[in-house]
Amino acid sequence: MKLSPRFSDALVFAAELHADQQRKVTGTPYLAHLLRVAGIALEHGAGEDQAIAALLHDAVEDQGGPAVRDELRRRFGETVVAIVDGCTDSDRVPKPPWRLRKEAFLDRLRDASASIRLTVAADKLDNVLSLLRGYREHGEKVWDHFHGGRDGALWYYRTVVGILKRHDATPLVEELDRAVTQLENL
């Protein structure tokens, strides 16, 4: 599949939106995460709308809520917005408590479309792989960066895997399952 100029536009927009954002543990530019999520999604069969949504999956949640959603709709269409919304745990400021947000997200994930599940799986795989790298570099201190701590993170990622496995026995979900198992065994 050849990506159109829409993907390039989404890449530039994502870079602009997240320019000042860094990853929690490593401090690397947040764009690196977005690029990896889009790459994972493309490697596992994403179409262009899914790949665009993968680049922008955190835009509403982290960079402006409803106003950013409206801009995404205008620039990239309803399909992209639906996928981004499916990946968003909250667009409210301040955000609701961590556990409530995650439980609500998991409830929505149970009935999510295949496009949302693909993007979520790609996002969570990159997050877990980043956590594994962070653990190797920083040890137990890595959990200090997460509201739910070690137990909350493991509960959340294992529940995501369980929900995804009920729908999809894809290589991506299996890879996520293996990565979560590694995290659990640390």
Q: pLDDT tens across 119-141, in order?
A: 999 999 999 999 999 999 999 99
CATH of the domain at 35: 1.10.3210.10
Q: What percent of the chain has pLDDT over 90?
A: 87
> Coil, helix or strand for 124?
helix
- Could you say which DSSP state residue 29 is in? B
pTM check: above 0.85 = yes
Nearest to 88 by CA among 118, 60, 126: 60
Structure tokens at 130: 């980043």
Among candidate residues 58, 61, 71, 177, the one labeled active-site is: 61
Among candidate residues 62, 103, 174, 175, the one labeled active-site is: 62
User: What is residue 70's predicted lDDT score, i.e. its pLDDT?
Assistant: 97
User: What is the domain range of residue 145?
Assistant: 5-184
Residue 64, number of CB atoms within 10 A of its CB: 16
Please state the domain count of the chain: 1
User: What is residue 92's predicted lDDT score, i.e. its pLDDT?
Assistant: 87
Look up residue 72 and give its amino acid. L
- With a CB cutoff of 8 Å and minimum separation 6, the contacts of 164 are 109, 117, 120, 121, 173, 176
Q: pLDDT tens across 55-95, in order?
A: 999 999 989 899 999 999 999 999 999 999 999 998 888 88
HSE-CB at 90 with a 13 A cutoff on CA atoms is: 13
Angle, alpha carbons 29-74-38 (nearest 5°): 35
Evaluate the CA torsion angle 8, 72, 153, 42 in order and state its sign. Answer: negative
Q: What is the DSSP string of 125-165?
A: HHHHHHHHHHHHHHGGGGGGGSTTHHHHHHHHHHHHHHHHH
- What average pLDDT does this structure show over 105-117? 97
Whether 62 is catalytic: yes
